[in-house]
C-alpha cells in the first residue's frame, strides 16, 4: 500500500491522509519515507497539475451591464481589475515552487488572497466608475450640514443674585473710571448671559474684545458731544443739522455694522456665527421706507389744499397703508437680509416668511394693541373720575400743597409706563414668534411659544419695579424678561458633527455702540 497525501478528486489537503491501493503492493518502510518524499518533490511533472489547478487565475470578472455614459472608461477599469488579479496569482505560483510541500497553507492563502483582494479591487474600481459618471451627469445632492430631530428647548440657567453682583460691580467701576470701564462691564455682563444660555446641554459664548467696544463708544460719544456743542453752546444750527443729516446717512451702515459685531462676537460649541450682508442692502431698505413716507406726505399735503376733508381721508388711508402695507414689507425684507446672510460655521440660516405672513403679524399686533388700549383708557377714565370726585372731600390743605401736583403727575406717569410696557411686550412677542417660526438652520426649524400678552404683562411690571426700586431691581427684571423669551424657544437640530468652523473674525463695534447709545433696537 502507498500513502498518498494528495486527493485530486476532492481537492482537499488534510493531515489525516487516506490510503489508496496501487498496482505495486510492496509496502514502504519507515526508514525509506524521507527518500520517497524527496523523490516526490523532484517529480515536478506529477505535482504541477495540482499546483496549477490551485493557482490558476480565476475567470475574468465581468461586471453587470449598467447604464453608464462612459463605456470606454468601464472597459479600461475591467482590464485593470483582471491585470491586478493575474499579477497576484502569478506571485502565488512562484511562491508554490519554492521546493516545500506546503499544500494546505498554499490553498488557504490562495483562496483568501484572491477573494479578498478581488472584492477590494472591484469595490474600488466601482467607486471610480460611479465617481466618473457622476461628474458627467448632475452632481448628487449635498448632505444637510445639520439634520432634523426632536425639538430641544433653549435653557437659561442664570441667577438674579449672581447677575446682581456682576451688575453692581460694573456700575461702581464705570463710575470710578468715568465710563472707561463700561466696555469691560458690557463684556462681563454678556459673557454671563451668553454662558448661561444652553441648547442641548451646550452653552453659548461671547467673545467680543472690550478694547474695540471702548473705541466704538468713544467715537459715538464724541459725535454726540459735537452735536450738543454746536446746537446749544455755539448756536451753529447749520452745523448741528449737518451732523444729524450725516448720522441719518450713515445709519444703515451703522445697523449693518451692529449686526455684524453681534453675530461675530457669539459662538456655540466653539463655532462662531458670521454675517455676510453688504451695506447696500440696508440702504435699499431705508430708501424704500423713505420713498413710501414721502409719497404719503405729499399726497396728504396736495389733497389738503384741494379739500381739508380729502386731506384727512388721505391721512387715514396713508396711515393704514403705512402700517399694514409698507411696514410689513420693509420688516420682512429687513429680516430676510439679516437671516439669509447669517451663518453658523458652514451652515446657512434661511428666512421663509411671505408678505402675507408679515401682514397677518402686523394685523395681530394692531388688534391686540387696540384692545389693550381701549381697556387701559377705560381704566384710566374710571380712576380719574373717581379721583376728581374724591377731590371735593379732601381738605384744601392737601389739594393746595406743592407736592400734590407731583403726586398726580407720578400716578399719570405710572399709567403711561404700564401702557408702554404692555405695548412693548406685546409687539416684541409677536415679532419674536414671527422671526423664530420662519427661520431655519439648513433644514432644521425653530419654534416659539411666546404668549405676547403674557410678555407684555412681564414688561409692564418690570418697568414698574424699576421705577419703584430706583433701578436697583434692573438685574432681576432683565433676567426675568430674558428667561421667558429663551425658555419658550425651541430648535429641532440633532446633529452638529457636520458643522465646520470658518474661524473667528474681529468686527468694528462703532455700529453696535451707536445703536446702544441711541437705544435703537436692531431685532437680534
Helix (H) or strand (E) holding 445: strand 444-448
Cβ-proximal residues to 158 (8 Å cutoff; 6+ apart), any chain = 192, 193, 196, 479, 482, 483
C-alpha grid cell for residue 461? 411690571
pLDDT in tens, 350-389: 999 999 999 999 999 888 888 887 887 887 777 777 767 7
DSSP string, 1-63: -EE----TTTT---SSPPEE--S------GGGHHHHHHHHHH-HHHHHHHHHHHHSPPPPP-P
Name the stretches of the chain with pLDDT < 50: 1-71, 91-141
C-alpha grid cell for residue 327? 411696514
Break the chain into its structural domains and give their ranges.
Answer: 2-136
Identify whether the C-beta of residue 480 lies closer than 8 Å to the C-beta of residue 223: no
pLDDT in tens, 275-333: 999 999 999 999 999 999 899 889 888 888 888 888 888 888 888 888 888 999 999 99
pLDDT of residue 169: 96
pLDDT of residue 450: 96
Identify whether the C-beta of residue 473 lies closer than 8 Å to the C-beta of residue 160: no
Residue 158 CA to residue 490 CA, distance in Å, equals 18
Identify whether the C-beta of residue 318 lies closer than 8 Å to the C-beta of residue 299: yes
Rg (CA), the chain: 41
pLDDT of residue 353: 94
**Cα dihedral 502→504→506→512 (10° resolution):** 90
Residue 36 CA to residue 34 CA, distance in Å, equals 5
Residue 193 CA to residue 479 CA, distance in Å, equals 9
Q: Which residues pair with 317 in a beta bridge?
A: none
Residue 349 CA to residue 341 CA, distance in Å, equals 7
Residue 309 CA to residue 192 CA, distance in Å, equals 57
Q: What angle do CA 116, 122, 128 make, to 5 degrees?
A: 140
DSSP string, 323-336: IIIIHHHHHHHHHH
Helix (H) or strand (E) holding 198: strand 197-199
Residue 89 CA to residue 60 CA, distance in Å, equals 12
Amino acid at each position: 500500500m502507498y500513502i498518498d497525501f494528495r486527493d485530486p478528486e476532492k481537492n482537499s489537503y488534510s493531515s489525516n491522509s487516506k490510503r489508496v491501493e496501487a498496482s505495486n503492493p510492496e509496502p514502504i518502510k519507515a526508514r525509506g519515507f524521507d527518500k520517497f518524499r524527496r523523490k516526490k518533490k523532484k517529480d515536478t511533472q506529477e505535482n504541477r497539475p495540482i499546483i496549477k489547478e490551485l493557482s490558476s487565475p480565476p475567470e475574468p470578472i465581468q461586471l453587470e451591464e449598467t447604464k453608464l455614459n462612459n463605456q470606454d472608461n468601464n472597459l479600461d477599469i475591467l482590464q485593470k481589475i483582471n491585470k491586478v488579479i493575474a499579477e497576484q496569482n502569478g506571485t502565488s505560483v512562484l511562491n508554490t515552487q519554492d521546493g516545500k510541500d506546503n499544500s494546505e497553507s498554499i490553498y488557504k492563502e490562495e483562496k483568501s488572497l484572491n477573494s479578498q483582494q478581488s472584492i477590494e479591487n472591484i469595490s474600488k474600481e466601482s467607486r471610480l466608475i460611479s465617481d466618473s459618471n457622476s461628474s458627467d451627469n448632475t452632481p448628487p445632492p449635498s448632505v444637510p450640514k445639520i439634520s432634523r430631530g426632536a425639538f430641544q428647548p433653549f435653557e437659561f440657567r442664570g441667577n438674579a443674585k449672581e447677575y446682581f453682583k456682576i451688575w453692581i460691580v460694573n456700575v461702581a467701576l464705570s463710575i470710578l473710571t468715568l465710563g472707561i470701564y463700561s466696555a469691560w462691564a458690557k463684556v462681563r455682563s454678556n459673557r454671563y448671559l451668553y454662558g448661561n444660555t444652553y441648547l442641548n446641554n451646550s452653552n453659548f459664548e461671547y467673545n467680543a474684545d472690550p478694547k474695540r467696544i471702548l473705541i466704538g463708544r468713544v467715537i459715538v460719544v464724541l459725535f454726540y458731544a459735537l452735536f450738543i456743542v454746536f446746537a446749544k453752546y455755539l448756536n451753529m444750527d447749520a452745523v448741528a443739522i449737518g451732523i444729524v443729516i450725516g448720522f441719518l446717512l450713515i445709519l444703515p451702515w451703522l445697523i449693518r455694522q451692529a449686526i455684524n459685531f453681534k453675530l461675530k462676537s457669539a459662538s456655540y460649541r466653539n463655532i462662531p456665527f458670521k454675517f455676510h450682508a453688504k451695506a447696500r442692502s440696508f440702504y435699499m431698505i431705508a430708501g424704500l421706507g423713505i420713498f413710501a413716507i414721502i409719497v404719503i406726505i405729499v399726497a396728504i399735503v396736495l389733497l389738503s389744499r384741494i379739500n381739508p376733508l380729502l386731506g384727512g381721508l388721505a391721512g387715514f388711508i396713508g396711515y393704514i397703508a403705512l402700517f399694514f402695507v409698507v411696514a410689513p414689507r420693509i420688516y420682512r425684507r429687513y429680516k430676510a437680509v439679516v437671516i439669509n446672510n447669517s451663518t453658523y460655521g458652514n451652515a446657512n440660516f434661511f428666512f421663509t416668511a411671505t408678505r402675507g405672513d408679515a401682514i397677518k403679524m402686523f394685523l395681530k399686533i394692531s388688534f391686540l394693541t387696540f384692545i389693550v388700549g381701549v381697556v387701559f383708557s377705560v381704566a384710566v377714565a374710571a380712576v380719574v373720575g373717581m379721583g376728581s370726585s374724591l377731590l371735593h372731600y379732601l381738605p384744601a390743605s392737601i389739594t393746595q400743597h406743592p407736592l400734590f401736583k407731583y403726586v398726580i403727575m407720578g400716578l399719570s406717569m405710572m399709567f403711561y409706563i404700564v401702557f408702554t410696557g404692555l405695548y412693548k411686550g406685546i409687539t416684541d412677542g409677536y415679532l419674536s414668534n414671527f422671526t423664530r417660526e420662519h427661520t431655519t438652520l439648513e433644514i432644521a426649524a425653530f419654534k416659539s411659544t411666546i404668549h405676547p400678552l403674557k410678555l407684555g404683562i412681564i414688561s409692564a411690571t418690570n418697568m414698574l419695579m424699576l421705577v419703584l426700586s430706583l433701578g436697583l431691581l434692573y438685574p432681576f427684571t432683565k433676567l426675568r424678561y430674558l428667561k421667558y423669551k429663551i425658555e419658550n424657544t425651541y430648535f429641532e437640530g440633532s446633529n452638529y458633527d457636520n458643522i465646520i468652523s470658518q474661524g473667528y473674525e474681529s468686527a468694528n463695534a462703532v455700529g453696535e455702540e451707536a445703536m446702544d447709545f441711541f437705544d435703537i433696537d436692531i431685532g437680534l
